[in-house]
Chains A and B, each alone.
Chain A
Amino acid sequence: MNNLDCEGKKIRCKSLIIDGTKYRTTLNKKYQVRKPYAKPEKNKIYSFIPGTIIRIDASVGQCVKKGDSILVLEAMKMENIILSPVEGVVKAINIKQGERVPRGKLMVELGFG
């Protein structure tokens, strides 16, 4: 095998372990940039879409039940009512009314008990 790719660059092999065996191979870009898995935390409410906070229904210290309205996030011309995914106490609200939020922003944190 010639250890050159089509553009004449030297191919650098790495190891990939499958079923306990270490194989010499190259790793493609998609494999290298894959995101590590993060366990979803139910008590943390992230924005699932970028948009604008048009209303906040909960306040810090308030006890909420599962399904209570926490805030309204307007995005793509839709008003999305964000409901509490769990029963708990509102520990922190990291957004203000009228604020534009990107996707994946930690908006509200809930605590248990």
Chain B
Amino acid sequence: MGLKRKILELHKKREEVLKGGGDKAIEKQTAMGKMTARERIISLCDAESFHEYDLFVEHEARDFDMDKKILHGDGVIIGTGTIYGAPVCIFAQDFTVAGGSLGLMHARKITKIMDHALKMKVPLIGINDSGGARIQEGVNSLAGYGEIFFRNTLSSGVIPQISVILGPCAGGAVYSPALTDFVFVVDKISKMFITGPEVIRTVLGEEISMEDLGGARVHSEITGNAHFFSKSEAECFDQIKKLVSFIPRNNTVKATRFEPGEPRPEYNISEIVPGDPKQPYDVRDVIKAIADDSDFFEIQELWAANIVIGFGRMNGDTIGFVANQPLVLAGVLDVDSSDKAARFIRYCNAFNIPIITLVDLPGYLPGIDQEHAGVIRHGAKVLYAYSEATVPKMTVILRKAYGGGYIAMSSRHLRADFVFAWPTAEIAVMGPEGAANIIFRKEIMSAPDPEKMRKQKVKEYKEKFANPYVAAARGYVDSVIEPEETRKLLLHAIEVSGNKSVFLPQKKHGIPPF
């Protein structure tokens, strides 16, 4: 055979495999409103940048007539490409081939690209669209999942790991996304659960649709399993690209620097926060008044919205923002918001991203449900995460910083590097009403007009303690600043912290309360 013929043979072989599960299966995929695995990768990567490997991999299963079945690429595509010029490793399960089911070789392809990502220290992006374990391959398929989970854990904190759920991801398969840093879901397309509606119906007699059990909205609003929600696959890929532009490609380098611009003038920092600490506002407007170009990329926007987390830039470099949100549940810390903030703080610390914390919270959410849900151990995660974080930590106290909430929100005591407070800050053991009621209980109760006395005592307490100066007098606050000075001072603080080094006691690892 001549070279030409051999090349023709290669073309033919490629063509055959690139058909995936065939026209009928592709038609079905499209009818579900889904792109094919290859279309997805092409939409995500820079043009012409993707290169596929293991195209000709075949399974070796024999039982249940599997030896007669040809599964192109064994139902998964792996390869490398670039996003905005940054190299990434990608796998995408191909639902058109045996429902994207995971067998031994399918898993080996995934672990191959995972090993590659860790070795080359580049982000890993996994597109999940699979019916689950390939039952015919039995324990080999379980072994495959285990090998993936192990690598997810090994890579955690070394390279960014991104999971994209574009179809079903059920049973044990959900644990790979759960172990990764960011999970993207798309409305009506993503489905994640451990046991599906069918099992729940037969075992428990409870009826629920797939969408209501583990659809994109559920995981974005209720469970917190997902980080980014979008209405279409195209929008989802735009979000992934934006995320990739913000994060460093591994834990030894900085994120790509962007040419910085000033915040937009419509975000006037002096006019966002009402003076009355009981009135709400959207703290995201404060972040936008501080960050370069007013560009703030929010994470987990719909879940535990009483705390806001996400990325912005300061002088072109990526910064993690954490802020209490007075607009939702008065900005309290509770089980979910503690979980959300703590994980993000640890992400920033692992990837050397400085953290700016904006504080305005009345404390923890009171409630039997909160106490019984373990708000003690969940709340402790925030303390743990801030305390162990050695990246530059800048704190701005906008208004309320009461009690345990004050300590938890990146206070000086947890080794914040810079603590600034606005003149509107109230740093105290609790709100004036509560404090006055306890301290002056006897005077209030024995007064001829208790309500009048109560009001007077609240006013007294407010004047004396509801300000930043008591804390500033002890050095817990470094500087009381005007809102307009915030960006300037934060930029300076970040510049000064460029070579920050902290020595921690030697240990294998800590034992955070999870």
Residues of A within 8 A of B (CB): 1-2, 11, 13, 16, 18-31, 34-35, 37, 49-50, 75-76, 100, 102-103
Contacts and interface: CB of A to CB of B under 8 A. Distances in A.
Interface stretch (B42-50, B277-285, B487-495): B277-285
B328 A25 contact: yes
A54 to B, nearest CB: 16
B434 A30 contact: no
B330 interface: yes
Q: Which label, helix, strand, loop or mixed, suits the secondary structure of the A interface?
A: loop
A75 to B, nearest CB: 8
Contacts of A13: 280
B120 to A, nearest CB: 38
Given A24-B279, A25-B280, A19 B369 contact: no
Contact of A23 (B326, B372, B434): B326
A28 B222 CA distance: 10
A88 B371 CA distance: 32
A20 B434 contact: yes
Nearest to B331: A25
Given A1-B272, A25-B328, A19 B280 contact: no
8 contacts: A19-B403, A19-B434, A24-B278, A26-B328, A26-B329, A27-B329, A34-B367, A102-B206
Interface in B76-104: none
Interface stretch (B142-150, B313-321, B425-433, B501-509): B425-433
A16 B329 contact: yes
A31 B369 CA distance: 10
B369 A76 contact: no
A16 B327 CA distance: 11
Nearest to A102: B205
A100 B431 contact: no
A21 B285 contact: no
Contact of B282 (A1, A34, A35, A100): A1
B296 interface: no
Given A28-B305, A76-B203, A20 B362 contact: no
A26 B281 CA distance: 10
B280 A1 contact: yes
A31 B431 CA distance: 22
A76 B203 CA distance: 7
B7 interface: no
A105 to B, nearest CB: 11
